[in-house]
Amino acid sequence: MLVELKNGETYNGHLVSCDNWMNINLREVICTSRDGDKFWRMPECYIRGSTIKYLRIPDEIIDMVKEEVVAKGRGRGGLQQQKQQKGRGMGGAGRVHESIQNKKKRQVSGEDPLPVIL
């Protein structure tokens, strides 16, 4: 992948890791100066995320990642996890519904004399 920094330098190498702040570790790196007239070869390098201007990732890598996501079943957790996590404020509805069902069962069995109001 190619990484261009805000100061104009470019780094071309193999991505080893990337964290939440976009700090990147590359291996087998070729660094090009801002002017494009000087080159350095390095076995590895670390790039701070806040200095990055842009990244260029080859199309075949992006296609490979897309195929992996489809193969895993819609990303992290698959469909089952998406059904469980409905979003903010939706968790209470299931518990309320469950308590009403339990109350109905108690009324039918004669344990709860109070009426159910829906």
Task: Tell me the per-residue pLDDT of 60-112, one tens digit each, with 9 for 90 and over.
Answer: 988 988 888 888 876 555 555 555 555 666 555 555 555 666 666 666 666 65
Q: Determine the pLDDT at residue 73.
A: 73
| Bridge partner list, 25 | 17, 46
Q: Determine the pLDDT at residue 19.
A: 94
Q: The tokens 């007239």 sit on which residue?
A: 37
Q: Which domains does the chain have, with CATH numbers?
A: 2-72 (2.30.30.100)
Cα–Cα distance, 15 to 42 (Å, whole number): 14
Q: Are 31 and 47 contacting, i.e. CB atoms less than 8 angstroms apart?
A: no
List all residues 6 or more positions away from 58 whose beta carbon is below 8 Å from its beta carbon.
Answer: 1
Q: What is the pLDDT of residues 1-42, one digit of tens each?
A: 999 999 999 999 999 999 999 999 999 999 999 999 999 999
What tokens appear for 65 in the block?
């990642």
CB atoms within 10 A of CB 57: 12
The reported pTM is: 0.58
